[in-house]
Amino acid sequence: MEKKSETESGTRLNKYLSDLGVCSRREADRLSEQGRITVDGIAAVPGTRVKKGQEVCVDGKPVGERPDKVVIALYKPRGIVCTTDRVREKDNIIDFLKYPERIYPIGRLDKESEGLILLTNDGSLVNHILKGSSYHEKEYIVTVDKPVTEAFLKGMAGGVDIPDGRTRPCQVSKISERTFSIILTQGMNRQIRYMCRHFNYRVLRLKRIRIMNITLGDLRTGKWRYLTGEELAQMKKMFGKEVRR
């Protein structure tokens, strides 16, 4: 039997909302499970498909046409949570930023951490950056509660067993007595904090300063900027060089 085209069968709801910049695919599935999305007035479920001309509403509000692509670099302060859930989390990043269009964070940076976080309405960009097999670099500056030793640096660099699994080998270098830099190519939950805890160190300050080719630079806490065309072009070139190791 001939397979129907996407035009005939419709687009999966989670992809549809992600492409529009409403939310991530995972968030769309969660909203569907909560009964917060309708298609032509009928409650959607994960896997629902949307055809051209159908009206999709989130929390009763119609979803508009595809917006222009937006990519923002924000210096997230400590205490702000990288979530789009504005109901259950009062310190969410969306209310903090107050951007006039719907955007959402690419990945996460835990509440106690600070530094660079990207936000966008481009679902395909999110998928490229978060793809675990791509080994995209993220760089952090970390301050801990006692002197950094060579044994600690070597142990961190070699890979550590944490709740989400074993971490990949990474680049670690000493900056000062109690501060070091670390470059990761994966994004396990609270990864650096768990890695440090494995060696009986406690993280006092954790700041992300780079995601791929995008750097924090002189951006001040709580401030944001648009990515430049040159930065986006360079990032897309890096997507074309993705490798599986």
Specify whether 207 is located in the same domain as 145. Answer: yes
Query: Residue 245 domain-assigned?
Result: no
Residue 44 belongs to what domain range?
8-62
pLDDT of residue 8: 63
Written as six digits, the tokens of 206 are 């954790």
Query: Residue 3 domain-assigned?
Result: no
Query: Residue 1 domain-assigned?
Result: no
Give the integer Cα–Cα distance in Å for 69 and 236.
14
Query: Residue 93 domain-assigned?
Result: yes
Query: Residue 32 domain-assigned?
Result: yes
pLDDT of residue 172: 98
Specify whether 122 is located in the same domain as 220. Answer: yes
φ/ψ (deg, to 5) at 179: -130, 140
* Residue 110 appears among annotated catalytic residues: yes
Specify whether 189 is located in the same domain as 226. Answer: no
Give the integer Cα–Cα distance in Å for 14 and 30.
10
Q: Give me the sign of the Cα torsion angle 20, 25, 27, 30.
A: positive
pLDDT of residue 143: 98
Specify whether 57 is located in the same domain as 80. Answer: no
Specify whether 164 is located in the same domain as 44. Answer: no
Specify whether 13 is located in the same domain as 55. Answer: yes
One of 29, 40, 91, 110 is an active-site residue; which one? 110
Structural domain count of the chain: 3
pLDDT of residue 105: 93
Query: Read out DSSP for 188-242?
Result: -TTHHHHHHHHTT--EEEEEEEEETTEE-TTPPTT-EEEPPHHHHHHHHHHHTT-
For residue 163, how far is the Cα from the chain centroid? 20
φ/ψ (deg, to 5) at 191: -60, -50
8 Å CB contact between 193 and 118: no
Specify whether 54 is located in the same domain as 78. Answer: no
Query: Residue 150 domain-assigned?
Result: yes
Query: Residue 111 domain-assigned?
Result: yes
8 Å CB contact between 109 and 75: no
Give the integer Cα–Cα distance in Å for 73 and 120.
9
192, HSE (Cβ side, Cα atoms, 13 Å)? 27
Specify whether 167 is located in the same domain as 56. Answer: no
Q: State which of 62, 83, 107 marks the end of a domain.
A: 62
pLDDT of residue 133: 64
Query: Residue 143 domain-assigned?
Result: yes
Specify whether 192 is located in the same domain as 232. Answer: no
Give the integer Cα–Cα distance in Å for 7 and 16.
12
pLDDT of residue 241: 57
Specify whether 203 is located in the same domain as 143. Answer: yes
Specify whether 82 is located in the same domain as 197. Answer: no
CATH number of residue 229's parent domain: 3.30.70.580
In tens digits, the chain (245 residues) has pLDDT values of: 444 445 567 889 998 887 776 777 888 899 999 999 999 999 999 999 999 889 999 988 888 665 578 899 999 999 999 998 988 999 999 999 999 888 989 988 999 999 999 999 888 788 788 776 678 899 999 999 999 999 999 999 999 999 999 999 999 999 999 999 999 999 899 999 999 999 999 999 999 999 999 999 999 999 999 998 889 889 888 887 554 44
Specify whether 119 is located in the same domain as 230. Answer: yes
Q: State which of 62, 85, 105 marks the end of a domain.
A: 62
CATH number of residue 55's parent domain: 3.10.290.10
